[in-house]
Chains A and B, each alone.
Chain A
Amino acid sequence: DAKTTQPNSMESNEEEPVHLPCNHSTISGTDYIHWYRQLPSQGPEYVIHGLTSNVNNRMASLAIAEDRKSSTLILHRATLRDAAVYYCILSDLLNTNAGKSTFGDGTTLTVKP
């Protein structure tokens, strides 16, 4: 299974942009890149996903490198409520392990007022 590597922790100031990196050098051509976040004492929540092109939604943007070996989750203006653990995961829906989604340790984002 393709694995992801993320920094253990990052800090940001409130109302500044945050770029959360993820390396996935062994990604296959059919792996989707997903981002989830987990607020304290809650279950994970979906943030965004992409395959090849950059993606935007109301929560964040996802920038995917041209070779797909890395991606970056962008929070345009961090708020205190964005303090969470952010997980980057890969999921291949087209092979025999279709849908198998394993989480790494994620990046703990601290937002300072």
Chain B
Amino acid sequence: NAGVTQTPKFRILKIGQSMTLQCTQDMNHNYMYWYRQDPGMGLKLIYYSVGAGITDKGEVPNGYNVSRSTTEDFPLRLELAAPSQTSVYFCASSSGLAGIFGPGTRLTVT
């Protein structure tokens, strides 16, 4: 039981590049989330999903896209990376009551 895994752990992108942050959970949770956390700040919800095939915007969705084709996977796509997207990205899954967070992906856009 690995919980929530995220890849990569670190990444440096150039402005305008694209990438996909991977998130996988093995707990058969219906709910999955993507958050970003800027230095010294709290977490901001980017997108969330209540089940396979269903996604919805959170507080800060601009510049990101998600998909949920399976219960296990919830990738986050960054198109045309900008310096403002430099942040730590956390994926989480939940049964609805107790959430489990992944270790995070530290992304730098220069």
Residues of A within 8 A of B (CB): 32, 34, 36, 42-46, 49, 85, 87, 91, 93, 97-106
**8 cross-chain pairs, A with B, having the tightest CB-CB distances, nearest first:** A43-B101, A103-B43, A99-B31, A105-B42, A46-B98, A99-B50, A93-B96, A44-B101
Asked whether B102 is an interface residue with its Cβ less than 8 Å from the other chain, the reply is yes
Given the complex of chains A and B, what is the CA–CA distance between A46 and B94 in angstroms?
10
Nearest CB in chain A: distance from B36 CB, A? 11
Which chain B positions have C-beta within 8 A of A97?
Answer: 56
Contact yes or no, B90 A43, CB < 8 A: yes
Q: Is the CB of B103 within 8 A of A43?
A: yes
Cβ-neighbour of A103 out of B35, B94, B100, B102 (below 8 A): B35
B96–A44 contact, CB under 8 A?
Answer: no
Q: How far is the CA of A91 from the CA of B94 in the complex (A)?
A: 11
User: Does B12 sit within 8 A of A, measured CB to CB?
Assistant: no
Query: CB distance B45 to A100 under 8 Å?
Result: yes
Across the interface, name the chain B residue whose C-beta is closest to A32. Answer: B97
Given contacts A46-B100, A93-B96, A99-B94, contact A106 B50 (CB under 8 A): no
Q: Which of the listed residues B42, B44, B48, B94 has the most CB atoms from chain A within 10 Å of its own CB?
A: B42
B33 contacts partner chain A, Cβ-Cβ < 8 Å: yes
